[in-house]
Structure formats: C-alpha cells, structure tokens
Amino acid sequence: MAVVVAGAGGIGSECVAGYVEAGARVLVTDRDQDRLDQIADQHPGVEVLAADLTRPGSGEAVVSTAVSRLGGLDVLLHCVGVNDRRPVLEFSEDEWDRVMEINLGSAFRVAQAAGRHMVERGRGRIVMLSSVSGLLAHAHHAPYAASKGGMNQMMRVMAREWAASGVTVNAVAPGYVETNLTAAHLAKPGVRDGLTALVPAGRLGRPDEVVGPILFLSSPHAAFVTGHVLYIDGGRTLV
C-alpha cells in the first residue's frame, strides 16, 4: 500500500507510525522541514517532501512525486490545518482567506490530484481530517468551522463523483484532541476543564486514538464506505 500523508503535525505523525506499522510505503509532505526531518529520523524508509499545498500546482506535484517514489498511490490522508480563535468581527478579509486556503484550498488541490490518479487506476482511498467544528457552532471558530464544513461537503461531492471508479472519499472529525494545534489554547486558565465538561467521555482525545479509524477507512475493509464523516469525539456531538 502506497500512502501520502499531507501534514506532519501531531495527528499526521501518529498516522505515519500507524501506516508504517501496517506495512505501507509512505511519503509525508509538509512545508515545515524540521517536522519532516523528525519523521525521517523516527521512521527510516519513509519518504519526505517539503511542499506548500497552498500554492497552485502543488497538489499535482506532490502526487506525481509520490507515484514516482512509491510506485503508485493507494491512499491519501490530508491532515493540514490551522485555527485562529477570534470573534467574527475581528477578522480581516486576508486573515479569513489565509485559514480557508490552508485548510480547504490545500485539501482541494491534493485530493483532486490524487483523485485523478486513482480514478484512472480504478481504485483508491482518500481520507480528510475534518473536525466537530464543521458541525457545531463554536464561538471564535468562524473561518476554521467554515473550512471544515466546506471540506465535509467537498468530500461528499468527490465521493459521489468517484464512487463508480472504485475510489472512496471520507473524513474523520475529531473533537478536542491534545495536539500542537490545541496546546496553547488548552493551557489558558479554565479552558481544559471547560472543554472536558462538554465531553460525555469525561476527557479529551489523544492523537493515537484517531489513527485506528483512519487506518480502517484506508483499508479494503472500508471498500463500501464513502462520503461519510466519522466523528471521533468521546460523544461531544451528542450533547
């Protein structure tokens, strides 16, 4: 199995370890070379590629490189994302566009390129890292929530268009997970306790708890699962 993991952050790096343990050949792409170097040190044999997926043509370049280095592409996992927690009225247009471009624009570019390759081959799995924010109306999450809600619908349309070609497209939507993206926010007084109180499971998630569902959606076991958003949230979306 040849896998591209786009995004080498907390959940992305955990998924790399999961794919490697499952015996996959993996290429990881990120614009942070330090993150890529850490992954290469931790997992000898994993291919790394520095790329900025907000740039036009970057998705095609990453997929082409992956096909060349890995001998094909069976799975794409998109784990790129940033958040900017402020009230709606405080955002400039450029600040809004930045979050949308990083979170949603990058997903479109690399998923479209991967989908083109997979549709031609007649098989493939695409998984996108969404969020419960794509469903829930969290305050101070407007561009992030919009990007994840847009991702969910984009994913569904891709799933609809490519299903007959043997390509599945799904998303996983974690609740609050302790990652680099959430660390500073969780460190603020009262934030951790307040968020934990919203989760029926009584705790926040860990990056490794997202890996199993992603591996399932990447596998032959999920051949008839497409266009689905799988919530990994300890029951957060139930209340």
Predicted TM-score (pTM) of this structure: 0.96
User: Could you report the per-residue pLDDT of 176-215, keeping only the tens digit for each?
Assistant: 898 876 788 889 999 999 999 999 999 999 999 999 999 9
Per-residue pLDDT at 178: 87
- Residue 177's closest CA among 223, 226, 213? 213
- Measured between alpha carbons, how far is 50 from 39 in angstroms, rounded to an integer? 12
User: Could you report the per-residue pLDDT of 133-160, keeping only the tens digit for each?
Assistant: 999 999 999 999 999 999 999 999 999 9
Task: Tell me if 129 sits within 8 A of 77, measured CB to CB.
Answer: yes
Per-residue pLDDT at 182: 77
Residues 6 or more apart in contact with residue 125 via CB below 8 angstroms = 74, 75, 76, 167, 168, 170, 217, 218, 219, 222
Q: Is 33 exposed, middle or buried (0-12, 13-18, 19+ CB in 10 A)?
A: exposed
Lowest mean per-residue pLDDT among 36-40, 89-93, 124-128, 180-184: 180-184
Q: How high is the mean pLDDT of the chain?
A: 96
Does residue 144 have an active-site annotation? yes
Per-residue pLDDT at 107: 98
Task: Tell me if 77 sits within 8 A of 6, measured CB to CB.
Answer: yes
Residues 6 or more apart in contact with residue 168 via CB below 8 angstroms = 124, 125, 126, 159, 162, 217, 222, 223, 225, 226
Q: Quickly state the pLDDT bin for 120 (edges 50, 70, 90).
A: very high
User: Could you report the per-residue pLDDT of 24-80, keeping only the tens digit for each?
Assistant: 999 999 999 999 999 999 999 999 999 999 999 999 999 999 999 999 999 999 999
- Integer angstrom CA distances of residue 3 from 28, 93, 135, 188: 8, 35, 28, 37
All structural domains of the chain with their residue ranges: 2-230
Point out the catalytic residue in the list 19, 144, 176, 231: 144
Is the pLDDT confidence value at 171 over 80?
Answer: yes
Alpha helices in the chain (DSSP H): 10-21, 33-42, 58-70, 93-100, 106-121, 142-162, 180-186, 191-196, 208-217
In terms of CATH, what superfamily is 2-230?
NAD(P)-binding Rossmann-like Domain (3.40.50.720)
- Residue 143's closest CA among 86, 196, 74? 86
Amino acid at 125: R
